[in-house]
Amino acid sequence: MGTITARKKADGSLSYTAQIRIRRDGKLVHSEAQTFERKPAATAWLRKREKELEAPDALERARGSEVTLGRIIGQYVEESKRAIGKTKTQVLQTIIKSDLAAMPCDRIESRHIVEYLQSFTVQPQTVGNYASHLAAVFAVARPAWGYPLDERAMDDALTVCKRLGVIGRSKQRDRRPTLAELEALLDHFTDRKRRVPQAMPMAIVILFALFSARRQEEIVSIRWKDFDAEHSRILVRDMKHPGEKAGNDVWVDLPAPARRIIEAMPRKKDQIFPYSTDATSANFTRAARLLGIEDLHFHDLRHEGISRLFEMGLSIPHVAAVSGHRSWNNLKRYTHLRHVGDRYANWSYAARYMSDPEDENEPQAPSTAMRTK
């Protein structure tokens, strides 16, 4: 399996390159070479290495000294049959650029992983995301490709980081906007749209978020072909889920007010709300800051929308059909109710979308006009 090749150097003398190439099932699985001034030295090295590589696990150890963690991550991304979401892709690309990824995989110990995770200056839940995606690579490297990447080192590092508070679960928010805060935001955006007609209709987007209980990225991704008016539902593509997001397409029910908002939107583009998540978030954040509304995120509108459905007396299956949750446990956090009944029943901003008496299971509001200036 080894060869020695003589090469003439610039000064006319010879050098001898000993090379070992190992194939398994027709595929090259290992290659290494050394160059010597004398042929006997090359021959001795070749015999010694061939004997060493015959030992159990020797080939695996040899491959580990060549293959870096970064290369394994690249192979993981390339060979994964499951679509890798945008966030996971960004995380893995960040890890690839690190000093940890430059290390040979057989030399990575738990302390190296701990040091890397401790180097982040973000929230523990964010570090936890990095650890989770890195652990997925460790889990498949040895059984799938034979790389000596120690999964136990990863497990030990996770244990240490949890104990030290380096990683942690996301904190559950229970922030809900007051009607006064919502009115201030909607007044602001309604006035802005009147003054600047080409401005993004943030008031409509906010109302849709409240009535549909949809996430920001879901709202701007809905296409007209995903809207089923007959059954009052929409198809949410790549719905967020801990185990699977890409390809996780789910039909969810649309409360009547949310359906009416969609039906009133112009059909100029494929998307019903043809805006970006960055623009939506930036508009909302700037307005909240300008109006002195503290600690309110766009995502809190989803919490508000789901909580409102429970306050209206809807059953768990009914709420889950709207929110898209798969289990009751995930809905428990929305049951700390503040009201009984629909807090929007007499709210002028909602009345425009809640005035159709033919819709069942929807509270009827006085037929007042939408707030104007």
Active site residues: 215, 245, 299, 302, 325, 334
Q: Say what angle helices 179-195 and 277-290 make with each other, to 10 degrees.
A: 110
The pair of structure tokens assigned to 364 is: 């009827």
Q: DSSP of 214-257, one letter per residue?
A: --HHHHTT-BGGGEETTTTEEEETT---SS--TT--EEEE--HH
- What is the chain's percent helix, strand, coil content, to nearest 5? 50, 10, 40
91-98: which pairs have CB atoms within 8 A and are 24 or more residues apart?
A: 91/129, 91/130, 91/133, 92/133, 92/137, 94/130, 95/69, 95/70, 95/130, 95/133, 95/134, 96/70
Question: In whole angstroms, what is the distance from residue 95 CA to residue 99 CA?
Answer: 8
> Hey, what are 72's tokens?
């394994």
Amino acid symbol at 183 = E
Structure tokens at 22: 């190992």
Closest residue by Cα to residue 32 from 64, 74, 69: 64
- The Cα–Cα gap between 366 and 344 comes to 11
Structure tokens at 232: 């009052």
Distances (CA, A) of 169 to 83, 266, 324: 24, 41, 21
Instruction: Please name the amino acid found at residue 185.
Output: L
- Beta strand extents in 71-127 (DSSP E only): none
Transcribe 295-341 into DSSP letters: S--TTHHHHHHHHHHHHTT--HHHHHHHH--S-SGGGGGG---S-SS
Nearest to 95 by CA among 64, 119, 124: 119
